[in-house]
Amino acid sequence: MLQMRVLVLALFSFFTVLPLSSAAQDCVNSFSGIVKEKSGDPLPGATVVLAGKSTVADADGKFRFLNLCPGTLQLSVNYVGYRNFEASVNIQRDTVITITLTDDETTLQEVEIVGNTEAKSGLTNSSYSLSKEELEHFSGKSLGEALKRVPGVSALQTGPAIFKPVIDGLHSQRILILNNGIRQEGQQWGIEHAPEIDPFIASEIKVVKGSEAVRYGSDAIGGVIIVDTPPMHQAQKFGGELNAGVFSNNRMGVFSGLLEGGFKNSEDISWRLQSSVKKGGDYSTPDYVLSNTGVHELNFSGALAFRQEARGAEIYFSSFNTEIGILRAAHTGSLEDFDNSIRNQKPWYIEDFTYTINAPRQKINHQLLKVSAFKKITGVGTLNILYGGQFNQRKEYDIRRAGRTGKPAMSLDLFSNILDVSLDHTWRGLTGSIGINGTYKDNSNVPGTGIRPLIPNYQQLNGGLFIIEKYRKDKWLAEAGLRFDHQYLKVITFINNQDLVKPTFNFNYVSGSLGVSYYMNDFARLTSHVGVSMRPPHVSELYSEGLHHGTASIEYGLMNQNGFQTDQSLIKKEISTKFTEGFQLIRKTFSLEISGYLNHISNYVFLKPTGTALTIRGYFPVFNYQQTEAILTGIDGLMHWDISRNVEYAGTFAYLYARDVTNDDVLTFIPPAQMEHALTWHQPTRKKYEIFITVSAPVAFKQTRAPKTVYPLDAASYEGDEVFDFAPAPDGYILLNMEAGIKLPVRDHSLSITLEGENLTNASYRVYMNRLRYFADEPGTNFMLRLKYNFHSHE
């Protein structure tokens, strides 16, 4: 009996004392410190993350966290251009530490010339990073969809599976994507061509929103997306990661695995293997199946790295293979069909759910080989050499007669080679980089399609020379850069599909940038950046020719005006002048970042309606690439507020105004104003496991500056001069999303499980930036269950 009472008492006290003890536990400790460079100088601007909370080191390199509960917390400190610092800190009282960040140059990461070192140039530009943790919320989604999270970044969609990033209103060949340090060379010219990258390889994705043309050349006129893989020096110990996810809407399954380790015989060598597979079927709107919107994907990559203090080398290979269905009802053979589709408000082809992908569909294979090396040269700096070879195959299949559906309607092979050499140096307070790079691209149409190619074969040779320097003094940080480029372009095409011609182009162009960052006080920073960059028109803009089934329109390139080949001297380079002003405020429980920009682009290349053509399939509108003067100006911001110890608010917004100055008209494909609000409840960090629940509401406004509406049947008789759209801009919308997750330790390892629901109200809506909005609604509710198991053996 006594024993029983003791047991009951013990149980009782166990249940009551546990919560009591945690409440009684004083969460009053502070953790503060200073981040320094190797030289002892403070490092303002370094990001310090303690148990998921982040702050930025002030002008003196100091940071502070308050109201911490006793326990062991994960600390990480990072700063572009420096090696990440990671440690577990046991906080039982107020703790003060000094963290010295070593230059990236001592790590192999440095070798990724364009990946990490080069990012040093983005210091005064407006940029935003998606961390590994943030990326986990998007695992299984495409790169373009994950990037929509960044304020000012939206996506140009072709259905629910094809997302093309748009930065401050610019996309395609005006944006550069760096994939593990290598500029991605795919078929980015097409509006329905998504980046050929598996987001599972990324440990961080950074978006630089201003022009980074100085560092990367003309493709970066609108911004850069940097997809970084985990540094190889982390792969010394055996470990890995498994991800699995299931998605309800399109019954998609996603699986990815990563293994890494070192070799017994040598501490200098490490390896990593990674693979992901994805299979999804048709998506569904609240009312019907989006027939033929499945996606199948198989990707893998491997890396082998050798690293010593003064030199290192790395070989990296990746393979991206995907097959994506395009909504069956979006294939239009004539303006009548197109008009019916738009007016019906519902796709004309709806079948039961299937995993099968039929025409129209895309099949893309992208192979990348990267070989890089670095060597430290005493008294000079670090020399980096990088070679990248890429082979991109894009096949597009259409609905055709007589068994030709199995034959690609378009088949392009793009083979590209990149060689980059740069020298990073520090000289009398100046740190910077000088470098040269060369690219060679060969694009060929694979014979046998039975359809005239939309873009011709071409060979392109680029050479660039750049210098970037930065200088830091007191509360000021300044950087400046200059670049010179030459491009040789040889186009191999046919006049009237008969006479082979090989016109050649030579473009010389320069880019320059100047940026300043001023630390007003311990918690506020102002940045100002101006970049001038030039871009010669892409081959697709020069020589496109043919009927686009997706848009039911005929397109002609800049070189073909009114049916005649025009003079090369009339082709002008695009010149962008972009001013970006940023303000950053970081307080204990509140942070705010706002950036405004004004981008003036002269000779902006765009598609202008120029008439109609009666073909054997009926009338089609004709669009011709032309050049004009454009202005894009806007403001983006994000805010973070810890309302209480358990509840935090995060908000983002973006607004963009775009105008064709010459024609006094609007521009096409400009994202409408958007914002997102998110409230998160998370359990205080002292517990062994972490729980969170997030409720978020993305809001999109109606695009009020959309081009005028000309329905397809009216397009045949349209005689106006303004750009037009085949349907009015859809109304704005508010969605409701929810996500809950738990992270559990499993011995040394960790397991996290999250359940997310998107569009919980099952709202029917359309997205202005989705080209398939003419035909169908967006997907309805989608539940996603994700599991992640991490078995890295940390020391």
Q: Which of 74, 102, 615, 704 binds another protein (CB under 8 A)?
A: 615
Q: Does 713 help bind another protein (rule: CB under 8 A)?
A: no
**Minimum CB distance to another protein, residue 554 (Å):** 9
The stretch among 245-253, 402-410, 472-480, 567-575 that binds another protein (CB under 8 A) is 402-410
Nearer to another protein, 75 or 451 (CB): 451
From the CB of 333, what's the least distance to another protein, in Å?
A: 3
Q: What distance lies between CA 34 and its chain's CA centroid?
A: 32
Is 46 or 289 the residue whose CB approaches another protein more closely? 289
- Residue of 463, 430, 370, 398 lying closest to 180 (CA atoms): 370
At position 146, the amino acid (one-letter code) is A
CA separation for the pair 189, 52 (Å, rounded): 39
Contact range with another protein by CB under 8 A, out of 12-20, 195-203, 572-580, 607-615? 607-615
Does residue 497 come out as left (phi exceeding 0), alpha (psi in the -120 to 50 range) or beta? left
Contact call for residue 618 and another protein (CB under 8 A): yes
Contact call for residue 453 and another protein (CB under 8 A): yes
Query: What's the min distance (Å) between Cβ of 346 and another protein?
Result: 12
| Closest to 756 measured CA to CA, from 139, 158, 185 | 139
Distance separating alpha carbons of residues 154 and 478, to the nearest angstrom: 30
What DSSP string runs through 232-270?
Answer: GGGGGS-EEEEEEEEETTTTEEEEEEEEEEE-SS-TTEE
Q: Which value, in Å, is the radius of gyration of the alpha carbons in the chain?
A: 27
Binding mask 482-521 for another protein (x = CB under 8 A): ----------x-x--xx-x---------------------
- How far apart CA 466 and CA 420 sit, in angstroms, is 11
* Binds another protein by CB under 8 A, chosen from 19, 40, 379, 447: 447
Largest CA distance in the chain: 105
Neighbours of 664 (CB within 10 A): 9
Cα distance between the two ends of the chain: 49
Number of residues that bind another protein (CB under 8 A): 51
β-pair type (252-262, 269-280)? antiparallel
Which of residues 313 and 598 has its CB atom nearest to another protein in the complex? Answer: 313
How far is 276 from 199, CA to CA, in rounded Å? 10
Identified binder of another protein from the candidate list 37, 60, 134, 442, rule CB under 8 A:
442
Q: Does 794 bind another protein (CB under 8 A)?
A: no
Q: Can residue 336 be called a binding residue for another protein (CB under 8 A)?
A: yes
DSSP secondary structure letter of residue 330 = G
CA distances from 642 to 111, 647, 682, 782 (A): 39, 6, 11, 29
* Shorter beta-carbon distance to another protein: residue 20 or 501: 501
Binding mask of the shown chain, residues 628 to 667, with x at each position contacting another protein by CB under 8 A: ----------------------------------------
Q: Which of residues 341-380 bind another protein (CB under 8 A)?
A: 348-349, 371, 373
Instruction: Pick one of 449, 652, 674, 790: the residue that binds another protein (CB under 8 A).
Output: 449
Report which DSSP code applies to 116: I
Residue 399 binds another protein (CB under 8 A) = yes
CA distance 161 to 295: 7
Which among 273, 268, 223, 275 is positioned nearest to 244, based on CA atoms?
275
Rounded Cα–Cα distance for residues 110 and 83 (Å): 9
Q: Nearest-CA neighbor of 372 among 303, 332, 315?
A: 315
Segment interacting with another protein (CB under 8 A) among 132-140, 249-257, 334-342, 661-669: 334-342
Contact segment (CB under 8 A) with another protein among 223-231, 333-341, 625-633, 766-774 equals 333-341
Q: Which DSSP symbol is given to 28?
A: -
Cβ of residue 118: shortest distance to another protein, in angstroms? Answer: 19
Q: Can residue 255 be called a binding residue for another protein (CB under 8 A)?
A: no
CB of 390 to another protein, least distance (A): 11
Q: Which is nearer to another protein, 50 or 489 (CB)?
A: 489
Closest CA relative to residue 764, chosen from 752, 776, 777? 777
Which one of 89, 419, 635, 693 is in contact with another protein (CB under 8 A)?
419
Instruction: Say if strands 457-473 and 311-325 run parallel, antiparallel, or are unpaired.
Output: unpaired
Answer for which of 288, 317, 387, 655 binds another protein (CB under 8 A) is 387
- The answer to whether the CB of 360 falls within 8 A of the CB of 331 is yes
Convert residues 454-473 into a mask of x (bound to another protein by CB under 8 A) and - (unbound).
---x-x--------------
Q: In the set 229, 332, 595, 627, which binds another protein (CB under 8 A)?
A: 332
Q: Which residues bind another protein (CB under 8 A)?
A: 266, 268, 306, 308, 311, 313, 331-334, 336-337, 348-349, 371, 373, 385, 387, 389, 399-402, 404-405, 415, 417, 419, 440, 442, 444-445, 447, 449-453, 457, 459, 492, 494, 497-498, 500, 613-618
